[in-house]
Amino acid sequence: GTSYLTEEYLQIKYPLKSGPDTLYIDPSFLPDAELVRAVRALKAESALFLDSVPIAYRSSKPRTASELSELNKEQFQGETIRIVHTWDIFSRNGEALQQDFDLITAGRKSAPIPASNRVIRPENIFLEEGAKVELSILNATEGPIYLGKDSEVMEGNMIRGAFALCEHGVVKMGAKIYGPTTIGPYGKVCGEINNSVIFGYSSKGHDGYLGNSVLGEWCNIGADSNNSNLKNNYAKVRLWNYATERFDQTGLQFCGLMMGDHSKTAINTMFNTGTVIGVNCNIYTPGFPRNFVPSFSWGGAAGFSTYQTQKAFEAAKVMMERRGRTFDEKEAAILEHVFEITKKWRKYS
């Protein structure tokens, strides 16, 4: 079976189940066929590296980075996608989406594409069982289009691949979507979206622009909210980095909004280029909020206050119940920990 070796505060939800011969894999490396073969071929007490970076190891116990030197060392000779920074999630999404599409659809036949649609490159389009799409334009010239099980693309949408809509996801009427874009399970989107990744159970359900951005789970973007993804002087974008605790250069000219789980915006909210929003934030107008908003913040350009956990958890419970999920003690404990470790960045009451 599969288990997780993660931060201590996350282990209550994602426990580790190790044995005498366990394979540990760094999840920042996205698997393709070549990498999977190399990892599976690892012998006991051996580690696979990409140059000096460990990809995976097989051992009788979890090991620290320094302890990996005790194992037999093998080098991976292929190329792979690695997520190092938050912005890699959208900037590398085209490659990852194509790999996933090839893997998921290999040897399978798509459900029929209804005749009411205008389709370009139908061989690059795959509909799972129960997927619905009518009276829309699907252009898979630049990348594949994948509609997951029981997902729905309502009438009047324009979608240019690469695009993936995961199971039970919904594209509401009149959306304009440019790839590579991925909408997670039970996600709901509309308006204009360009090269973005929206994780499961999050909504951008109305008009407004979202570009070169990443939204976590259980987020909600209010109607007519927009983000900038390009500076007026066309300069490369700097973005808040939690590891270095400063704004670091991304090397990207296009970089939009990074939003943590359970965060939400009011209608007509605006975000500057390269904005990072933490977990459980509630952002409202008028004006642009700062480029880094710490977790559990409530407010906007005029100022912020602390979004206390009791109120935040009440909102999370209601939102999750609407999707048939439970906000339990494990979820609360994880978010309590996030609240504590982010206090140093909240300078308000």
What pLDDT score does 47 carry? 96
Q: What is the pLDDT of residues 150-167, one digit of tens each?
A: 999 999 999 999 999 999
Place of tokens 């915006």: 265
**Token pair belonging to 294:** 């710490």
What pLDDT score does 348 carry? 82
What pLDDT score does 300 carry? 87
What pLDDT score does 251 carry? 95
**Token pair belonging to 152:** 């729905």
- Right CATH number for 88-345 from 2.60.40.10, 3.30.540.10, 2.160.10.10, 2.40.160.50? 2.160.10.10
Cα angle 33, 252, 50; round to 5: 35
> In the chain, which segments carry CATH 2.160.10.10?
88-345
Q: What is the pLDDT of residues 164-202, one digit of tens each?
A: 999 999 999 999 999 999 999 999 999 999 999 999 999
**Token pair belonging to 36:** 């999977």
What pLDDT score does 269 carry? 95
Q: What is the pLDDT of residues 268-306, one digit of tens each?
A: 999 999 999 999 999 997 789 999 999 999 998 888 999
What pLDDT score does 245 carry? 93
What pLDDT score does 349 carry? 60
Say how far apart CA 174 and CA 178 lie, in whole Å.
Answer: 13
Say how far apart CA 224 and CA 209 lie, in whole Å.
Answer: 8
| pLDDT less than 50: residues of the chain | none
Nearest to 166 by CA among 140, 189, 184, 145: 184
